[in-house]
């Protein structure tokens, strides 16, 4: 057996220095080209890699032929790029982090004192609202500072004040991201974002495309938006206008709107299937004939030796759930990180109210909080007809949206370990706890030990 390190992430500045010294072009396309040849060339892959490195132009021609002519797109996944993204708005971050097969680390508004850096939307300026935009973001910054001090003075910790005062900051607030992405996903990302309704996101797509076409030209050849992608926002808008439903005056923060029928039986059947040579139909029939106690015993046996850091078996993915949740922008910032779930989002809505942290109530800061929200919504309503979706820059982290979350039981275990834990942000913890309670009610055996990692020993003991 041989295990050979083929490459590592290297900073772009070092790549430039190395290219100058060595007199060669350094590109991840070489690795893609070498790996593409594994299936048809008898030589060891490390030899193929050295050959590709000597002839970069030939490697690029090979990539183009294999990825685009033959359609083996997965080859592009071997080329990985890292991006520093600075000075992008919080609302644009949501569009960027929509893509599952990339890795993101974002500067957290929970852990730092926020300054007054904001992105100025092109649409706001073009519609003549530049001055009013600046007045609002300056006002919200002042309210943020005042509320932060009030929360501290009420006896809350500095961390709590940072986490909760940020609810008043607008979605125009500047953010930073570190992003790692393979070339296949990068091309898809560029194409999708190039027809986004926000100008800031389209500009981001253009800048990504400029870098990608220079650095991995053989793997990112079709970054332009397709007619299919261009039509998506229009179709969504038309479908939304076709609805005759009125906004709910009362709504549930978390609602389990659909779930696998007889999920515990399906889970037990999956466990039987993986340990036998029976068909799934026969396995399901066997699980159906069992007494409840027998099914419970089979499911419980898979979790007997489980620790808080262990994931449940893959068979738990046989249980699917569809939740409708109403969350603030602050909470959605946590929710969107769970990219293995399927999330369908609505725009932010002033009709859903706002999320108010308990620390604000404790600090008697409700008055300031309400003033900030009123100022935000007043300008939002004034400009929304002209500015369209870009008016969302003026909404705050406290404003809410509806999200449909399709999640299987295995992923819900992972979600709950992080989000029902005492270290989690308070609002996502509330949402997670409600999701877990509904899942346990529907699937008492499959969801038996859902919960935060800090409570895992107690939860597991209660099931013994």
- List the domain boundaries for the chain: 12-78, 261-316
| Residue 213 confidence (pLDDT) above 70 | yes
Question: How confident is the model at residue 464, as a pLDDT?
Answer: 67
Which three-class secondary structure string do you get for the chain? CCCCCCCCCCCHHHHHHHHHHHCCCCCCHHHHHHHHCCCCCCCCHHHHHHHHHHCHHHHHHHHHHHHHHCCCHHHHHHCEEEEEEEEEEHHHHHHHCCCCCEEEEECCCCCCCCCCCECCCHHHHHCCCHHHHHHHHHHHHHHHHHHHHHHHHCCCCHHHHHHHHHHHCECCEEEEEEEEEEHHHHHHHHHHHCCCCCHHHHHHHHHHHHHHHHHCCCCCCCCCCCHHHHHHHHHHHHHHHHCCCCCCCCCCCEEEEEECCCHHHHHHHHHHHHCCCCCHHHHHHHHHHCCHHHHHHHHHHCCCCCCCCCCCCHHHHHCEEEEEEEEEHHHHHHHCCCCCCEEEECCCEEEEEECCCHHHHHCCCHHHHHHHHHHHHHHHHHHHHHHHHHHHHHCECCEEEEEEEEEEHHHHHHHHHHHCCCCCCHHHHHHHHHHHHHHHHHCCCCCCCCCCHHHHHHHHHHCC
Question: How confident is the model at residue 247, as a pLDDT?
Answer: 58
Find tokens 């092109």 and name the residue.
122
Kindly give the interhelix angle for 409-419 and 426-442, rounded to the nearest 10 degrees: 140
Question: How confident is the model at residue 158, as a pLDDT?
Answer: 87
CA nearest neighbour of 253 among 357, 321, 319, 331: 331
Could you give the percent of the chain with pLDDT greater than 90? 74
Report yes or no: 439 and 450 within 8 Å, Cβ to Cβ: yes
Other C-beta atoms lying within 10 Å of the C-beta of residue 369 = 24
CA nearest neighbour of 232 among 197, 200, 184, 185: 197
Question: How confident is the model at residue 112, as a pLDDT?
Answer: 64
| Residue 245 confidence (pLDDT) above 60 | no
Measure Cα distances from 394 to 166, 233, 341, 382, 398 in Å.
Answer: 14, 21, 28, 11, 11
Mean pLDDT for 133-149 is 95
Find tokens 């004939």 and name the residue.
289
- Rounded to 5 degrees, what angle do the CA atoms 259, 414, 279 make? 55
**What is d(CA 273, CA 270) in angstroms, rounded to the nearest whole number?**
5
| Residue 5 confidence (pLDDT) above 80 | no
CA nearest neighbour of 444 among 311, 264, 265: 264
Tokens describing residue 289? 């004939």
- Rounded to 5 degrees, what angle do the CA atoms 444, 445, 448 make? 75
Find tokens 């892959």 and name the residue.
45
Least confident of 87-101, 148-162, 192-206, 222-236: 222-236
**What is d(CA 98, CA 89) in angstroms, rounded to the nearest whole number?**
15
Q: What are phi and psi of 350, to 5 degrees?
A: -75, -15
**What is d(CA 363, CA 399) in angstroms, rounded to the nearest whole number?**
20
Tokens describing residue 6? 């083929």
- Give residue 10's Cα distance to chain centre: 25
Average per-residue pLDDT in the chain?
92
Between 70 and 448, name the one with better pLDDT. Answer: 448
Which residues contact residue 194 at a Cβ distance below 8 angstroms, ignoring those fewer than 6 apart? Answer: 202, 205, 206, 209, 223, 224, 225, 229
Mind listing the pLDDT tens digit for each residue in 417-454? 999 999 999 999 999 999 999 999 999 999 999 999 99
Mind listing the pLDDT tens digit for each residue in 316-358? 999 999 999 999 999 999 999 999 999 999 999 999 999 999 9
Question: How confident is the model at residue 236, as a pLDDT?
Answer: 84
Find tokens 């006896």 and name the residue.
155
Q: What are phi and psi of 171, to 5 degrees?
A: -75, -5
Task: Tell me the pLDDT band of 186, cut-offs 50, 70 and 90.
Answer: very high
Task: Tell me the pLDDT band of 108, cut-offs 50, 70 and 90.
Answer: confident
Mind listing the pLDDT tens digit for each residue in 257-298? 999 999 999 999 999 999 999 999 999 999 999 999 999 999
CA atoms within 13 A on the CB side of 21: 6
Question: How confident is the model at residue 251, as a pLDDT?
Answer: 87
| Residue 244 confidence (pLDDT) above 60 | no
| Residue 45 confidence (pLDDT) above 70 | yes
């Amino acid at each position: 057996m041989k295990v050979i390190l083929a490459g590592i992430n290297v900073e772009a500045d070092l790549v430039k220095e190395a290219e100058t010294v060595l007199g060669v072009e350094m590109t991840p396309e070489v690795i893609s080209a070498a790996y593409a040849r594994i299936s048809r060339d008898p030589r060891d892959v490390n030899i193929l890699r050295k050959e590709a490195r000597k002839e970069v132009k030939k490697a690029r021609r090979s990539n183009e032929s294999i990825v685009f002519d033959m359609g083996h797109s997965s080859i592009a996944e071997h080329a990985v790029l890292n991006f520093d993204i600075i000075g992008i708005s919080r609302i644009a971050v949501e569009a960027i982090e929509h893509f599952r097969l990339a890795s993101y680390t974002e500067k957290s508004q929970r852990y730092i004192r926020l300054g007054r850096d904001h992105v100025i939307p092109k649409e706001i300026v073009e519609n003549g609202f530049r001055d009013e935009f600046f007045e609002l973001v300056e006002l919200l910054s002042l309210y943020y500072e005042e509320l932060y001090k009030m929360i501290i003075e009420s006896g809350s910790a500095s961390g709590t004040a940072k986490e909760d005062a940020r609810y008043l900051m607008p979605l125009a607030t500047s953010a930073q991201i570190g992003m790692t992405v393979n070339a296949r996903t990068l091309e898809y990302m560029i194409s999708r974002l190039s027809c986004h309704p926000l100008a800031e996101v389209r500009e981001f797509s253009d800048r990504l495309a400029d870098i990608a076409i220079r650095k991995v030209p053989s793997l990112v050849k079709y970054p332009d938006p397709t007619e299919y992608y261009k039509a998506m926002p229009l179709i969504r808008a038309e479908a939304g206008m076709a609805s005759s439903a009125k906004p709910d005056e009362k709504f549930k923060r978390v609602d389990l709107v659909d779930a696998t029928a007889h999920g515990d039986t399906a889970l037990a059947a999956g466990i039987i299937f993986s340990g036998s040579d029976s068909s799934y139909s026969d396995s399901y029939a066997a699980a159906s004939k069992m007494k409840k106690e027998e099914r419970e015993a089979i499911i419980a046996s898979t979790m007997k030796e489980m620790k808080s850091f262990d994931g449940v078996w893959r068979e738990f993915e046989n249980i699917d759930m569809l939740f409708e949740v109403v969350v603030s922008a602050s909470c959605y910032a946590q929710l969107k990180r769970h990219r293995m779930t399927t999330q369908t989002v609505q725009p932010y809505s002033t009709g859903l109210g706002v999320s108010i942290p308990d620390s604000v109530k404790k600090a008697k800061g409700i008055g300031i909080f309400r003033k900030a929200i009123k100022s935000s919504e007043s300008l939002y309503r004034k400009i929304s007809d002209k500015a369209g979706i870009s008016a969302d820059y003026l909404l705050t982290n406290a404003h809410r949206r509806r999200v449909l979350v399709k999640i299987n039981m295995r992923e819900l275990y992972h979600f709950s370990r992080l989000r029902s834990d005492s270290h989690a942000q308070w609002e996502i913890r509330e949402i997670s706890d409600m999701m877990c309670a509904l899942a346990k009610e529907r699937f008492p055996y499959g969801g038996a030990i859902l919960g935060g990692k800090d409570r895992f020993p107690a939860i597991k003991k209660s099931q013994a």
